[in-house]
Structure 1
C-alpha cells in the first residue's frame, strides 16, 4: 500500500510539473483567486472556509475546526468507504503543509489549478493556507476539468445552524481583511486597458483609488443629487470599472451596468461584493447587441456613444424606448475638439426624437479632454 501511495504522489507531482511548464500560468494573490470563487455574490467554495478553520484549529486558535473538517470530508465522500479514506488522508497533508509554512514559508512547487474562469479545480488546501498565512502570490495554471461546487446548499444539508453561523462569520472575516484597492489594481494590471492611461479610468475615493476621472467631483458637476431619487432604476452604459455606478447606488433603488470588457466587469463585481452593495448588477456585453429586461428611470451615457457603433438618431431612439415615462438621459460628449465637434447637432437629434433638454454644462475633469454634457428628459 505504501508503494502505491508513493506512486500516486509521484503521478500528481508529474502532472503538476507538466501543467507548470506547458499550460497557461499566472501569479495571482490568494485573495484575488478566492474572490473569483464567488458567483452572483455567493461563494461557491465554502470548503475553503472549513479548511481555513482547520488551519486555525491546528494552530490552537479554535476548538471546532477539526470537527467541521472531518464532517465535511465525510459528507463529500457520500458514504463511499474508499473516498472516505482518501479524504481523511488529506488531513495529514494539511497538517504537513501548515508545519512547512510555519518553518519555511510557502513553497510554490505545486500549482493551484483552476478553469479558464479562475474557478478552483484543485489546490483548495494550498489556497486556504495561502489565504491564512497571507502569502503574496500563488501560481495558478488552467485545466479543462470542470470545477466542483461546494456552495451553501451543500453545507446546509449536513451542518447545523451553529456550524453554518461559524462558517459565515469566518467568510465575513476573510472578506473584511481583503484590501479592495490591492485586488482591484491586480485585475486592472493583468490586462492592457484601452482607457485610463495606465491607471483606473474612474476614481473611487471611498476605497482610496485614484483614477483618470474623479467620481465624486463629476457627480457634483452633473448636479445628479437633485434628480436621483430612492425609487429610480438606473442604467450605466459602458460602466467601465463600475465605480460611478457603485457610488450612485446609495442614491437610487437599483443600478445596472453594461460593459464590454470582462476584466472591468470583474472589477465591478468584486467592488460591489467587497463593499456589500446589493442593488447593483453588472454584466458583460455590447450595447448595440444587448437585450435588456428592464426599463429605466435614468440612463447614464458617459462619453461612450462614439464606441457603440450606432448613428446618433438610432441611439437616441433606442434610449427613448428604454426609458420609463419622464425618464432622464445624462448624455456626455467625447472630446468636443475631436470626435464631437458636431455636439450641437447630436443634441438636436435627441430633441427631435422625443427629448427636452433640462440642463447642460461642460467639464475637463481629467485636465486633458474637454467635454460637454446634457441632461435630457423623455417627453
Structure 2
C-alpha cells in the first residue's frame, strides 16, 4: 500500500469553498439546493452525502454548521428532502438560495462521460508520480485522495463539484493515465426509474422486424423521431438498424412496453414488434441526463433553407459524432433538427460544440450553441 507523502497529507485537509451561488437575471431561478443542518462537529461532507443518498449532485458546499447539496433539478432536491423526513441525525430542507437551470453542456457531460464527483485511476504507470497527482488535485477546492495503492495501480479521488471532477478527468488524461468516473450506490433516481431497473436481463429492447419494404422502414424510423406521435420515443437511448429490422434500446422495461403499445397501432400490421432482454442496464449518467432532458434529437438555430447540397454537407459533419438520419434533417421556424440514432452521438455533438472541436464546424454552425429537442427548460 502506498504511504501518503507530506504533500498528499497536506492536500487531504479540505478547504471550505464559499457557500454563495451566483444567479442570472435572464434565466429562471430554481430552488434545487438542499440544506442539511444538525451536523456533528468535524463532519465528513462525503459521508453525510452518502448517508442521505444525495447523489447525483452537481455541487457540495460544506460550512461549519451546515451542508449545502446542489442537485441538477428541483424535483431531485424535493425527493431527497422527502426521503429523509425520518432521518434522526440531521434535518433537511430546501435552501432559500436559487440557481439557474443546468446547461445543455452539463446534461451532455453527464451522458457522454457518465460523469460523477468520483474518479478512479486504473493501471497507473510508474512514471505517474505522487507529485503529479497532488499537483492536479491541488487545483480544486475540497478534492480528496480516498485511495492510493501504488502496488495495485489504483488511485481514487473525490470532488465536491462535478465540473471540477470533469476538469480533473481531462488533466489526468493529459498526464497519461486512464481515469474513469465511479458511480455511487447511494443515489436518487428519476421518478420514472427505480433500483429494479438497474438489474440485468430485463426486457428493455424493442425489436421491429419484417422491414423488407423500404417505405415501411423509413416510416418506422420517422416515427421513432416523432415525439408527438409516439410520446415514449424521447426515451429511446439507441436505435440500431439491421437489414430487415430495427433494435430500440430503452432505460426501463416499462418504457419499452409503453413504446410497443403506442407504436403498434401506427404499423397496422405491416411489421412485427417484440420485447427482448438486454444483459446490461443503461449507464446511470445517461439515465440522469434523460431525466434532465437529453434526447437523441438536437436542435440549433438555423435561419436558412436547406437545399440538398447543403444537407449533405451538414450530414457529413454530424456523422463525425454518431449515426444519424440524414434524410430527416429538418429546418422549421429557424431551427435545424438533427436526429441522431443514439444519445451518445447527440451528447457528443452538444458537448463538442460547447468545448471546441479539433476541426472547425461549417460556417453556419461556428457560433451556434445547440440544445436537446424540446428541452426549453435548460439554460
Q: TM-score normalised to the size of structure 2?
A: 0.26
Q: TM-score normalised to the size of structure 1?
A: 0.26
Identify which of structures 1 and 2 has the higher relative contact order when contacts are C-alpha pairs closer than 8 Å and 6+ apart. 2
Which structure's CA Rg is the greater one?
1
Greater helix share, 1 or 2?
A: 1
